[in-house]
Structure 1
């Protein structure tokens, strides 16, 4: 494309569109029809420039022009409770459901890794000695020791808030860093599984694995599921960089990135629930079976939410992406 020729040929149309936009509501019927036609043509011009001859200043001007024209043509749209309900009942569960082929294997492999690490640490005294001194390990694993008092060391409300913040940050890191070919996601996930494996190994060696599982399972089932979903989605985003499929790499990354952003918000809500369980249920005086039952119920509720509600929404065409009106034009529109 000869950029100078292209600009010379179409600048009058862009200038005319800008003049019509300045008139606002004072447009006549004929001018309103002209504005719609110019908006469609300018959106086509923008797509052509983005795909074949990107010029930052020109693309920036046309992007702003198309956005203003879209707002004028479609009318301003305000988010409200309907958007929140739609996101929670369709967008978020559908996005999680669509990513299941990534996060389910991630969950299975990660859990297996944590178990292997735990078995290795539990059977290797020299590895345990490298982790901490024997007296420190005894303080961690004894009745009333570090692993048990951790969950009751702070007031429940502040502890739940702290846990929620930390876990939400970890999930967000997995989602955001996925664009770097997924490599940082693998590291974040490994660190989480390593910590879990160390706890399993040390408490198993002390003969108190049942106590450890009674402390981890109430909140850990839902918490780890959220982390696995975030990690799987991040890995999917990283794979999109390598293989965008039939879409252009830019369009594929934009769509998957928007879905990942929405998923970060949804997972923050899921982690809030697990944080409440960790802050109030895990250190409570309830019997172990009752605490674990609460954790299992929360996990089953989330999986039902994803596979029933999300599966139905995904089959109906929901992807978790923004509505069409909220997206940038990625393909030329009819002029």
Structure 2
């Protein structure tokens, strides 16, 4: 191979790559147009091949070092730049995409919430009419502890916070994912979970109310419940979205309806997971802590709920106004 002729033929590519890299290193990958980004990737592959050939032909060390520098800089900008863009996309989703999805799917979330509240109301009504109803919903050990010992059961969490927190997260995630997956039963299983969880919280709330323990009980529930319950409602909404795609695809073919509504459901799941992780940490470490004053627990719970409502109302359009 004629080294000088090869260098003369390949050098314009090296110079072009150098030009693009200087611009990217100074102004970022966004300074390039789409065609220039593709050109950058193509030149990187081409110069990498040139570097391999230069090493094989044992050309000057200076040229090899220059080509090595070019390929290293190009690799850094292409792949680290792509990772930066991925993180920016994640940040964009949680800042604006998720609130927008919540607003678009609000009727389904509201329906899930209504079923939960219906279950709670039914449990409250029957528990006051027939005290034996509680034993059908609430574990007998919990009933006897509240009625006979006039104590709540959350003290068992103290001392095993990490284990309790992880178990709580796993349980809440399994319930939420079950509610989402329930959409494939045309939403029937999703509806069952919403009503059943409503029955449970309504029955427990009535039990502690009948035994004058409502104030400390709701102080325990408020901090983590401000995130945990909305997350379950979001999961129910996601399940009903899938149920709608199955039963009422509307103008879409059923497969296209699943893609459209399934995409919205997945976006809700991306919001549910961090909410339940945070709620699990709060429920394991903060809510049962006897050293935290009860009024503070109420304030934290209300504060978290107000922050969540404000977050769900976020809109780029409102911001631009």
TM-score bin (small chain): 0.5 to 0.7
**1:194 aligns to 2:199 (yes or no):** yes
Among residues 202, 210, 214, which one is paired with 1:205 in the alignment?
210
Aligned residue number for residue 233 of structure 2: 228
> Which consecutive unaligned segments of at least 5 residues does structure 2 have?
1-41, 44-81
Which has the larger Rg? Answer: 2
Aligned residue number for residue 187 of structure 2: 182
How far did 1:309 drift? 3.7
Aligned residue number for residue 247 of structure 2: 242
Alignment of 1:77-226 (within 5 A): 80-128=86-134, 137-141=143-147, 145-152=151-158, 155-226=160-231
RMSD: 3.1
How far did 1:146 drift? 4.8
> Structure 2: how far apart are the matches of 1:235 and 1:83?
27
| Compared CA separation, residues 273 and 311, structure 1 to 2 (3 A) | farther
8 A contact 2:223–2:301 mirrored in 1: yes
Aligned residue number for residue 299 of structure 1: 305
How many residues are paired up?
Answer: 242
| Compared CA separation, residues 83 and 141, structure 1 to 2 (3 A) | farther
> Structure 2: how far apart are the matches of 1:311 and 1:225?
24
How far did 1:211 drift? 2.4
Alignment of 1:40-51 (within 5 A): none
Aligned residue number for residue 39 of structure 1: none
Alignment of 1:25-44 (within 5 A): none
TM-score normalized by the length of structure 2: 0.66
Alignment of 1:254-333 (within 5 A): 254-284=259-289, 285-309=291-315
**SS of residue matched to 1:139:** helix
When you count helix as a share of all residues, which structure comes out higher?
2
| Compared CA separation, residues 299 and 311, structure 1 to 2 (3 A) | farther
> Which consecutive unaligned segments of at least 5 residues does structure 1 have?
1-24, 27-76, 316-335
> Structure 2: how far apart are the matches of 1:220 and 1:119?
22
Aligned residue number for residue 78 of structure 2: none
8 A contact 1:141–1:147 mirrored in 2: no
| Compared CA separation, residues 134 and 239, structure 1 to 2 (3 A) | closer
How far did 1:231 drift? 0.2
TM-score normalized by the length of structure 1: 0.64
8 A contact 1:160–1:279 mirrored in 2: yes
> Structure 1: how far apart are the matches of 2:135 and 2:178?
32
